[in-house]
Structure 1
Amino acid sequence: MQLVDNYQRRFQYLRLSITELCNFKCQYCLPNGYHPNKPHHFLSLNEIDNIVSTFTELGVHKIRLTGGEPTLRRDFTEILSVISSYPSMRELAITTNGTRLLKNINYWHQAGLNSINISIDSFSPHIFKLITGQDKLKELIAGVEKTLEIGIPKVKINTVLMKDLNSHLSDYLSWIKYRPVELRFIELMETNESRNLFHRYHLAGQSIERQLIEQGWQLQPKQVLSGPAKVYAHDDYQGKIGLIMPYSKDFCKSCNRLRVSSIGQLHYCLFGDSAIDLRDLLVSADQKPQLKSRILASLVVKPEKHRLHDNQVGMVPNLSYIGG
């Protein structure tokens, strides 16, 4: 059995949120900090193991742990160890704000982590603090340097593109010239809680793409387990530039990922208007046949594309809800 939808898209990549909690106050996500609207019991280690076991048997070879801020889980390193124990797991990745990176990256690497995305929305301390609500840029950069030093194979920097705040390509090029990282510009996406901010700060990624092409950057072939980024490389730079442009034409055509939230709901799209509850089938490994059937049935309702162009943002209130 393989995860294939009605449009012949194959899903080998699972984004698994393990908490909604976050300690940042990013303007585009949680400008007032995290405030739960009701008590949540996030997925247990056993439930996470049952999810991973099932999805790997259905052909998933890459899992990315997200949040919120996933490293806030006290059992985070143990979660990494459980996932990396599956022989078919080719890539175990996380997306993090990096606040626990400097102290813990060695432990995470030993537990099987081999890919990491660190959110750094500006290399200007002032702009970074303005966007994230935190004065931690120096600490985060030190964490990135240590990550490179210990040899994590894939290191990426995520920058949410915001017009007139962090949209100057020249501010980033010198930093990636001698570092083997992929710096990714992510278009600001509209959510139910960020409509006003979106209309003020949204900038199409094509504006960066045009500059890259004019400066001699070359589009790279897409890898099987890669996410949606268009990646550019240049002979004069060790680093690469990635562009994630959900408002671009045919963005959803190559979709290869599904999402499970921190409370056990399967989302076929970040901006979908419904979710399938899996949690009642995560108690025991004996429930795996029913769990597989429910997951496979959910692909029937996965639409061909999102409706962001029509300002239809689905059920997600903010990006920490199911992991952005």
Structure 2
Amino acid sequence: MAAAKSFYSVVQLLPHTLRGLHRLGGVRLASTVKLQESNDSIEHIEQVPLHQAQQSRLERLRYTLKHEENGPVLMDTFNRKHTYLRISLTEKCNLRCTYCMPEEGIELTPTDNLLTTEEILKLAQLFVKEGVTKIRLTGGEPLVRRDIAEIIGNDPNIPGLESIGITTNGTTLKRKLPLLKKGGLDSLNVSLDTLNPVRFELITRRRGWQRVMDGIMDAIDIGIPTVKINCVVMNGMNEDEICDFVELTRDIPVDVRFIEYMPFDGNKWNENKMVSYQKLKTIQSQFPVLHRLEDDPNHTSKGYRVEGHAGKFGFITSMSDHFCGTCNRVRITADGNLKVCLFGNSEVSLRDEIRSQKSDEELLEVIGAAVKRKKKQHAGWAQQQHLFTAPLHDQTSQTFTAQTRNYSTSCDARDNQLTHVDGTGKASMVDVSSKEVTTRQAVAVGKVHLNDVVFHAVKKNLVKKGDVLSVAKIAGIMGAKQCSRLIPLCHDIALSKIALDLILNENDNTVEIKASVATNDRTGVEMEALTGVSIAALTVYDMCKALGKDNWISDIKLLRKTGGASVFQLPEQQNLYMVTNNK
């Protein structure tokens, strides 16, 4: 037995000896010895290819050398160590938020191309081994994934992982909370952009506000350590609710985080929609006693607490005051692509690497190379857009509009005189009794600008007051007929035609209005057309004002008039704003 053990010890040294000979003398050995020992005895000795016996050791050596040369796998070239991993579990979502997703949804990746439960857990373990201490599960909506409990339940068992969180829209949170809590969930972020149930339905195109609120309260009640509300703030959508969210922290120990609206493909981002951190400071007008909280080095939120409030609030200033310099996060998409920056288009497929049977060391090489390519800030997007050259509130855009007067094709001395003023300068109705009766026509146009939420509500006929376009059309017709009673010096004439057209323009979220009026009389009907457009526009504004205070009316003008002594046609370049057919 002693001899067998001695022989076994010698055999154990063979791979090292052979490798040394190979390095020193360039000797290519075809085989080495593999020993299997059981119950302190040698069962058999077999010859196996050298590359199989040494493969794992060579891989470890290669990884060690690269690790020493390039630094930690999750350290980028700006010395940012990435300890926070976000894993998207699915592309599916049960909401259709207007700023996030098209109403019809998106084309989903085939299920076979998504990460499996085993692949998710493998990647989680690999990243934690390299220094990740916090994992957050996202989507889409992560709670629609059937294996969510299994994933949550296994992640906390990974040695070195300190926190496991989830970001959800909260619509199905209430019934899944006990299972999530049992699995070890310690951090919960709920996306909620409004405290108004009606506005919630308009923003998300779905019902469920009360379920979300119930889920938040239950999470606090059962003792989830960290509960946050993520609120994307947009001009024209919900900026009027900022103080309402702060008020929510009075009695509820929740962390409300206002997130600046960020650009993504397809969400029609523009700077006018973004409410910056500086503008959010108007909270102080209602809550003057604010305490600035100390932020952790890698936190994205600038935290505050109102004196006496149970909760707190903060600002995630991705756009106006970026935090790229301390970014410590990377993300894996639902189909297994590694993204080192939320803004970045560059991705590398870890799914393909896993399914091609790559070793952990080879996976880490791919991950490390991607992290080393991470840019200093916002994947270069900021430099292209010049967003960080100055605070947004200092970037004033000035627009100068040329003012022109449009004259009729008939020019005589009368054009230089006011027709509704007599010789003494007093107002006077024009005497048209001597004019010839002719067919006279006029077309006027105008616009009502709506925010995204209101535009969607009008389009889907969700406004509580009723069908906005139909009511405004009737109001415009009535307004044209009542013109002489509204405009003191207009003649009361018989109108032979009143046509009101209201069209939704999705390019700029406007209601375009056109009024066409005709008569057989001695005077024109341009005032009737303009009145019809004005009343229709005011009706749209009135019916929508409860949903948005930033709606506005513009570009009410006469497009053309014919008949009578003069003819008018708006110059073509000033008519380009109408996308509809105004002929």
Same fold, judged at TM 0.5 (above): yes
Over 4 Å off, 4+ runs: 283-286
Q: Deviations over 1:167-191 (max 9, x none)?
A: 1322222211011110011111111
Task: Describe the shift of the 1:220–1:284 C-alpha distance in structure 2 as closer, same or farther (beyond 3 A).
Answer: farther
Matched, 1:71 2:124: no
Cα–Cα, structure 1 residues 236 and 205, in superposed 2: closer, same or farther, change >3 Å?
same
- Supply the AA of the counterpart residue of 1:215: P
Partner of 2:569: none
Give the alignment partner of residue 13 of structure 1, picking from 84, 90, 95.
Answer: 84
Are 2:247 and 1:178 equivalent residues in the alignment? Answer: no
Amino acid at match of 1:294: V
CA–CA distance in structure 1, aligned partners of residues 319 and 219 of structure 2:
32
What CA distance in whole angstroms lies between the structure 2 residues aligned with 1:262 and 1:178? 37
Q: How does 1:75-86 map to 2 (within 5 A)?
A: 75-86=147-158
Shift in alpha-carbon separation, 1:33–1:198, aligned structure 2, 3 A: farther
Partner of 1:142: 214
Structure-2 residue corresponding to 1:319? none
One-letter amino acid of the counterpart of residue 127, structure 1: R
User: Aligned ranges for residues 7-46 of structure 1 at < 5 Å?
Assistant: 7-36=78-107, 38-40=109-111, 41-46=113-118
Which of the residues 303, 324, 338 maps onto 1:266?
338
Q: Quick check: 2:109–2:335 contact (8 Å CA) kept in 1?
A: no
Could you tell me which residue of structure 2 aligns to residue 218 of structure 1? 291
User: Is the alpha carbon distance of 1:210 and 1:184 closer, same or farther for their aligned partners in structure 2, counting shifts above 3 Å?
Assistant: same
Question: What's 1:192 paired with?
Answer: 265
User: What is the CA distance between 1:47 and its match in structure 2?
Assistant: 0.3
1:320 is matched with which residue?
none
Aligned partners of 1:259 and 1:266 also within 8 Å: yes
Q: Sort the Cα spacing of 1:229 and 1:285 in 2 relative to 1 into closer, same or farther, 3 A.
A: farther
CA distance 1:282–1:183, shift in 2 (3 Å): same
Evaluate the alpha carbon distance shift between residue 209 and residue 135 of structure 1 in structure 2; reply closer, same or farther with a 3 A threshold.
same
Please give the alpha-carbon distance, in whole angstroms, between the structure 2 residues aligned to 1:87 and 1:189.
35
Indicate conservation of the 8 Å contact 1:46/1:283, yes or no: no
Contact 1:62 / 1:91 at 8 angstroms: preserved in 2?
yes
Are the equivalent residues in 2 in contact too, given 1:96–1:118 (CA < 8 A)?
yes
> Which residue of structure 1 lines up, in the alignment, with residue 376 of structure 2?
304
Distance 1:310 1:211, change over 3 A: farther
Structure number with the bigger relative contact order (C-alpha 8 A, sep ≥ 6) is 1
CA distance in 1, matches of 2:322, 2:148: 36
Q: Equivalences for 1:306-321 in 2 at 5 Å?
A: 306=378, 307-308=381-382, 310-311=384-385
Uncovered stretches (5+) of structure 1, i.e. residues with no partner: 313-324
Q: Which of 290, 293, 317 pairs up with 2:365?
A: 293
Are the counterparts in 1 of residues 291 and 307 from structure 2 also a CA contact under 8 Å?
A: no
Q: Aligned partner of 1:24: which letter?
A: L
Question: Is 1:102 matched with 2:161?
Answer: no
Structure 1 residues 191 and 84, CA, compared in 2 at 3 Å: closer, same or farther? same
8 Å CA contact retained: 1:24, 1:33: no
* Offset of residue 250 of structure 1: 4.3
Alignment correspondent of 1:317: none
| Cα deviation, residue 143, structure 1 | 0.8
Contact 1:281 1:291 in 2 (8 A): yes
**Native 8 Å contact 1:21 1:72 kept in 2:** yes
User: 1:227·1:256 contact (CA, 8 Å) conserved in 2?
Assistant: no
> Tell me, what secondary structure is at the counterpart of 1:282?
helix
Between the aligned partners of 2:185 and 2:358, the Cα distance in structure 1 is 28
Alpha-carbon spacing, 1:180–1:130, altered in 2? closer, same or farther (3 Å):
same
SS across alignment from 1:128: helix
SS of residue in 1 equivalent to 2:239? coil
Q: What SS does structure 2 have at the residue aligned with 1:93?
A: strand
Whole-angstrom CA distance in 2 between matches of 1:237 and 1:52: 37
> Which residue in 2 is equivalent to 1:278?
350
> Which stretch shows the higher mean deviation, 126-135 or 116-125?
126-135
* CA-CA distance at 1:243 after TM superposition: 0.7
Distance 2:109 2:89 in 1: 17
Whether 2:189 is the aligned partner of 1:117: answer yes
Q: Are 2:186 and 2:225, in contact at CA under 8 Å, matched by a contact in 1?
A: yes
Which consecutive unaligned segments of at least 5 residues does structure 2 have?
1-71, 387-583
Identity of aligned residues (%): 34
Distance 1:96 1:136 in 2: 13
Structure 1 counterpart SS, 2:359: helix
Question: What CA distance in whole angstroms lies between the structure 2 residues aligned with 1:99 and 1:171?
Answer: 21
SS of residue matched to 2:214: helix
Post-superposition shift, 1:86?
1.1
Name whichever of 90-99 and 275-284 sits farther off.
275-284
Aligned counterparts of 2:357 and 2:152: Cα–Cα separation in 1: 19
| 8 Å CA contact retained: 1:209, 1:243 | no
**Residue 234 in 1 paired to residue 299 in 2?**
no
Would the aligned equivalents of 1:233 and 1:239 in 2 still touch at CA under 8 Å? yes
Greater shift in the superposed pair: 202-211 or 25-34: 202-211
> Per-residue deviation at 1:245?
1.1
Question: Aligned AA for 1:17?
Answer: S
| Contact 2:91/2:108 (8 A) holds in 1 | no
Give the alignment's Cα RMSD to 1 decimal.
2.2
1:54 aligns with 2:130: no
